[in-house]
A and B are shown apart, each in its own frame.
Chain A
Amino acid sequence: DAMVIQNPRYQVTQFGKPVTLSCSQTLNHNVMYWYQQKSSQAPKLLFHYYDKDFNNEADTPDNFQSRRPNTSFCFLDIRSPGLGDAAMYLCATSRDAAGGMNGYTFGSGTRLTVV
């Protein structure tokens, strides 16, 4: 089945130690998104890629970076994780930049713990 896969499911990192979360998709969608979701809150968009074009949300901290080496993969890099960065990180895809009637397809998420 076509899907969005996030690895790892759970990630523990030390305060200040760089960490990378990964997302892959078999849907061949043009757009990939990274969301941060804290407990019982709505997901907050960090950035998205339309093909190779990177689009950062205005309030996304510089501590968060992303890479998309090809259509299938997208990575979220947190350069110096703080305690406040502990959250669920969701990857999503959409066929095109209009979102459209199919909405977004989400991965299962990576729960990041910072110790």
Chain B
Amino acid sequence: AQTVTQSQPEMSVQEAETVTLSCTYDTSESDYYLFWYKQPPSRQMILVIRQEAYKQQNATENRFSVNFQKAAKSFSLKISDSQLGDAAMYFCAYIPNTLGNMLTFGGGTRLMVKP
């Protein structure tokens, strides 16, 4: 069975600083996708960034970037220049690139941003 683990239930960061959220996963698949979702207090889950397992290059979206270590099955999210609006629950998620498989979420990390 596939599992996704986020070992940090809560993190805090000072505004304008950088923070890294950790995620590890367990799978026997070689072709899959990884995602980070953000869920602000308004509760809509928003896709922040995605990574394709067969791409070695780490994905980047503006202030958000990932450190994808396929052999170590690690997929961390780095938020640079943190802003108050970044405060939210962040969920790491995994899905194999095969029919019939569902998105598997980690337990989430609550990020607090201090002004």
Contact = CB atoms under 8 A, between A and B. Distances in A.
* Contact-residue bracket for chain A: 20 to 34
A69 B23 CA distance: 38
A33 to B, nearest CB: 8
A100 B93 contact: no
A81 interface: no
Closest 9 A/B residue pairs (Cβ): A106-B45, A42-B105, A99-B95, A108-B44, A109-B43, A103-B35, A97-B99, A42-B107, A98-B99
Nearest to A97: B99
Contact of A103 (B95, B99, B100): B95
B55 to A, nearest CB: 10
B106 A42 contact: yes
Interface string B33-71: 101010000111111001010000000000000000000
